[in-house]
Amino acid sequence: MGGRFDAALARGIGHITRRALGPYQTAIVRIGFATTVLLFLLHEWPHRHEMYGPDSPWGFDLATRFVDDNGAFTVLLWSSSTAWFELVYHLTMLAAVGMLLGWRTRASSVLFMIGVLSVQNRSVFMGDGGDNVIHLMVMYLVLTRCGQVWSLDARRLARRRAQQPERHVTDDPAGIALWAVLGVLLVAALVSGKIDSPVWSLFFAGMWLVHGYWWLIRRYAPGEPRIVSDVIGNLVHNAALLVIMAEVCVIYATAGWYKIQGSRWQDGTAVYYPMQLDYFNVWPEISEFLGDSGLIIMALTYGTVMVQVAFPFALLNRRAKNVLLVVMIGEHIGIAVLLGLPFFSLAMIAMDSVFLPTAFLLWLGSRARRVTEPVRRRLRRAAPAPAAPEPAGVTEARSPAWAKST
């Protein structure tokens, strides 16, 4: 009995240390949240000054005092100038595009987090439940290897391996230049006192140093130091993935149990009231049709509570989990259409995607490739022929699959 337990324990430890789990799940979460943030910033672009900029009712002085009290992080309060706001807002959009495409995913994830936190913490009263989810997930994504698949990083690494299969190429001038520029900006922010929080100072400095350390290990120490670094990186990724999954369960469980305590949820009428508010009444005809049926309102009300409460327990059974995922995604689509909350729904669907089965994601990826294949063929015809690879020198250890995200 003891031998079986030891063998199972060894297999479990090897499972979480040898590789970064859930490559397709973390990729779809990355794409989902990047898309949500990008669409939101584009949607609010005409009103950005009133919502988060110098013309906001939540003025610069009020926001500064509020942030000083709660310790929130935002670079938008480093300066009150319009030019600085425009720079940060549009760089956040570019970081979202970088995350969406999986371009330099490590650096993009940090810049994405900085931009999202800066915009949200500038006007804290503008958000809703979806913004809270985004707030948390952008921090978790920094610790994951979310560019293993479906990313430009993965494509670049595969192309290099095809050109030089005997040697892993660590010469990356663009990556080194990006790392150096970010280092200069970090030093400038620390020296000028803009980042006055010890926690954030250590975090950003640590991330920058770890990136440099990983490049050195890949280039000059392909043996045991690199293996140990792989194990640590896998553990961090898998722990962050576990936290994301736990966060989803906590959000739904607490939401469901709080609803149970409300009298309107108990009598089955809670869904009726938001559909009667002009602020949420996007399709009055549909809302009126649903509101006229007491049976539909009761079913939607009780169904919402039961699905949210049951979801954490459904994870114990794969089929039940998949069925509830379909129901919950359908519920969020309904919220987007009926109540006019598309970005909230997109954020929740992106969060739910962490539990999607790998087989479905592979099928989804193959369908997406079929749709985009004509465009890729045209681009390949227009691109110049690649130069012949140089002869490989000393053979070096090849990088594991998760290095696509570095």
Q: Tokens 């000393």: give the residue.
A: 394
3-state class (DSSP) for residue 46: helix
Is residue 43 packed enough to be buried (19+ CB in 10 Å), middle (13-18) or exposed (0-12)?
exposed
Residue 72 and residue 124 in contact, taking contact as beta carbons nearer than 8 Å? yes
| pLDDT single digits (tens) 8-41 | 677 778 778 888 999 999 999 999 999 999 999 9
Q: What pLDDT shows up at residue 68?
A: 86
Residue-averaged pLDDT of the chain: 87
The model's confidence at residue 373, banded by pLDDT at 50, 70 and 90, is confident
Give 201's Cβ-side CA count (13 Å radius).
12
pLDDT for 113 beyond 70: yes
- In this prediction, residues 114-139 reach a mean pLDDT of 92
pLDDT for 5 beyond 90: no
- In this prediction, residues 152-156 reach a mean pLDDT of 92
Q: What pLDDT shows up at residue 383?
A: 60
Based on its alpha-carbon atoms, the radius of gyration of the chain, rounded to whole angstroms, reads: 24
Q: What pLDDT shows up at residue 117?
A: 96
pLDDT for 385 beyond 80: no
Q: What pLDDT shows up at residue 398?
A: 40
- Give the whole-angstrom CA distance, residue 340 versus residue 94: 26
pLDDT for 110 beyond 90: yes
Q: What pLDDT shows up at residue 166?
A: 52
Residue (of 35, 19, 28, 20) closest to 356 by Cα position: 28
